[in-house]
Amino acid sequence: MGRRRRGVMSESFKEELAKDLGFYDTVQREGWGGIRSRDAGNMTKRAVEIAQQQLTGQNQNRH
């Protein structure tokens, strides 16, 4: 059966990023398609920063 592939970021994580970056109201009004490409880029950039911080923290715990 074809289970839909989930995106890399969970919906709740994307919502948190949108709140942090100040365009969550747009998401609520218009959905994800309503955000500007610049906002989407900033969201991706922030997600990468968070992931790198988590990886760095995990690596430090191993040493």
Mean pLDDT, the chain, rounded, equals: 88
Residue 49's domain spans which residues? 11-62
Per-residue pLDDT for 61 more than 70? no
Rounded to whole angstroms, the maximal C-alpha distance in the chain is 46
- Establish if 5 belongs to a structural domain: no
Cβ proximity of 47 and 7 under 8 Å:
no
Specify if 15 maps to a domain: yes
Q: What is the pLDDT of residue 4?
A: 59
Asked if residue 44 belongs to a domain, the reply is yes
Mean pLDDT in residue range 30-40: 97
Which tens digit of pLDDT belongs to each residue from 6-28? 667 899 999 999 999 999 999 99
Tell me how far apart the alpha carbons of residues 23 and 17 are, in angstroms, rounded to a whole number: 9
Q: Is pLDDT above 60 for 48?
A: yes
Residue 27 lies in a domain: yes
- DSSP 3-state of 4: coil
Q: Is residue 1 part of a domain?
A: no
pLDDT computed for residue 3 by the predictor: 58
